[in-house]
Amino acid sequence: MNDIGKIILDTDIGDDIDDAFALLLLSESNKAEVLGVTTVFRNASKRAKMASYLLRKLHKDTPVYPGIDMPLKAKIENIVPLEIRQKEKVDEDGKYHLPQYASYMDEAAIEKEDAVSFIIESVHRYPGEVTIIPIGPLTNIATAFRKDPSIIPLIKEVRLMGGGLGLNFAEWNMWCDPEAANIVYNSGVNLTTVGLNVTCKTQLDEPYIKMMKESKSKALSIVYDMMMKWFEHYQFAAPVMHDPLTVASLLDPGILKFEDKHLDIILDGPQYGYVVERDSNPHWIHYASDVDKQRFFQLLKSVIFEHI
């Protein structure tokens, strides 16, 4: 593994459980200087409290900055299927209640500064040194680019989880804010994408889930409880390690293989939110094309399941 330098993790923790695993992996690898965690999409403040609570249980003092709740243009009623919205509740602020959220997380401290301002300030403070890892919708990143385009060439890399070629649907992170994705993909930033074509090969099997259940680690116990709530709410039975794979590919460059492609986001018609390969975007984007599944799980096991 290598030292990956200064990192900002941008996450929609609180829906799919894999964000929590990604946070554990990044924090416990001790191979990065995590400048901060930023949160995005539908109740970013509660997501921030969730991330902060988990970090404190890992004895990390990483600051967490709440970001933007709503997509740039897309509407929630068009993003989230009706059958899921009918199960949803609202919290005391009238915002979407995260299924994984627990009242004891209210005690977690979060920063007053917003995520976008933090991203911009961090990149200017450390030009050429900051890697941003977005593992949720790209609203915070796109808004930062819009607000201060001068940061784009100063970013070391944006390595995101999202998209994937050859799908017959729009991947969730792209679907939640296609306009934001389009801004990032066409920005010219040094961009690496880790999509469903590789992440779907990394389902967490039952032995790992059993290890979590039996673990005496407070952090793993919290994530296990969050995962059980996620299973119950969405009727899922096993998580896929989309976001941890994205983090892992920085920690161990041998886990993924990449190809350089011209990629773009469709913003209209029946393929709204799809990632496609086309030359209208002149910028080369590093696209994950293959995964060493065994190597990935060796890393995940050593950092999370045997270390925490």
List all residues 6 or more positions away from 41 whose beta carbon is below 8 Å from its beta carbon.
12, 47, 68, 69, 71, 136, 137, 139, 176, 177
Q: Are 55 and 62 in contact (CB under 8 A)?
A: yes
State whether residue 67 is helix, strand or coil. Answer: coil
Which structural domain range is residue 187 located in?
5-305
Q: Are 65 and 118 in contact (CB under 8 A)?
A: yes
Structure tokens at 72: 């740039």
CATH number of the domain where residue 33 is located: 3.90.245.10
Question: For the segment 69-101, what is each residue's pLDDT rounded down to a tens digit?
Answer: 999 999 999 999 898 888 889 999 999 999 899
Question: For the segment 21-36, what is each residue's pLDDT rounded down to a tens digit?
Answer: 999 999 999 999 999 9
| Residue from 37, 67, 32, 68 nearest 53 by CA | 37
How many structural domains is the chain composed of? 1
Torsional class of 154: left (φ above 0), alpha (ψ -120 to 50), beta (otherwise): alpha
CA dihedral 81, 267, 199, 47 (to 10 degrees): -60
Residue 2 has pLDDT above 70, yes or no: no
Residue 1 has pLDDT above 60, yes or no: no
Question: For the segment 216-265, what is each residue's pLDDT rounded down to a tens digit?
Answer: 888 888 899 989 988 887 777 789 999 999 999 999 999 999 999 999 99
The burial class, CB within 10 Å (0-12 / 13-18 / 19+), for 304 is buried
Question: For the segment 138-148, what is each residue's pLDDT rounded down to a tens digit?
Answer: 999 999 999 99
| Residue from 207, 298, 294, 300 nearest 246 by CA | 300
State whether residue 159 is helix, strand or coil. Answer: strand
Q: With residue 141 as reference, give the H or E element that holds it.
A: helix 139-147
Our measurement of the distance from residue 215's CA atom to the centroid of its chain's CA atoms, rounded to an integer in Å, reads 25
